[in-house]
Chains A and B, each alone.
Chain A
Amino acid sequence: MISFGRDGRSLIARIEGEIDHHTADEFKTSIEKEYGRINAKNIIFDFTGVTFMDSSGIGMLIGRYKKAVEYGGSVYAFGVSKEVFRIFEMSGLHKIIKISDEEPADNLKKGGRVKWVK
């Protein structure tokens, strides 16, 4: 399942459940639509509810990264579990996607600035 929020020109995409070939295709389509609709630049992924990810997730995330870069933005992720982080590392995703331990949405609501680590 995917749900969206926004903060200025940052699209917040909250993914829940498993990211595989079947679901990655659906996530890709809905993210593309929402990204265009709100004229976003950055994408912030909330991975807190992600229970599984395989290489189809890598392809989906690299695709979104390329898109964000094309529009002068960046891609962030938070709530990445240890298991999913292994897949990030193996593919080098952790070098192009900024990973944070903080909840950026809450942080932004409080008027604070998001501090992205790693």
Chain B
Amino acid sequence: MGEITENKVENRVRIEMDAKSRNESFARLAVAAFVSELDPLVSDVIDIKTAVSEAVTNAIIHGYEDSPGTVYIDLKLTDGVITVTIKDDGVGIDDISRAMEPLYTSKPEEERSGMGFTVMEAFMDSIIVRSEKGRGTEVIMTKKLSDV
């Protein structure tokens, strides 16, 4: 009766990692472990791992352009919804809507396909990208975990 449960944060984990490619697999494992308490569908876990992999990789190769930096991962679980925030203090994005177009890449010479944002959009329920040139980028994604 009158109890406020809405928007209650049930769990939260924050990770700071060096912007190194070998940490990409750690980020995926961490998010999989984080949602495991909800006993989620395997397919939901794969979707979330893939989206996290895309955002963390972008922070490393585009945000910091393979030079030293820190990637910030914030994981939140509220009412069966996971919110993942991946942030870098890197170069930022000039034109966010162009960056999010399928097949757009600023690094075609490095065998990038420009599909990262498209994968994030397809695998998560929502995505917000905030960026400022020279200051960094923040990608906020949510997904409701299916009831098993």
Contacts and interface: CB of A to CB of B under 8 A. Distances in A.
A83 B21 contact: no
Contacts of A22: 21-22, 24-25
- The dominant DSSP class at the A interface is helix
A90 B118 contact: yes
Contacts of B111: 24, 28, 59-60, 62-63
A55 B112 CA distance: 8
Interface string A72-114: 0000000000010001001100000000000000000000000
Interface of A: 18, 20-22, 24-25, 28, 52, 54-56, 58-60, 62-63, 83, 87, 90-91
Contacts of A63: 111
Interface string B19-55: 0011011001000000000000001001001100110
A18 B25 contact: yes
A22 to B, nearest CB: 4
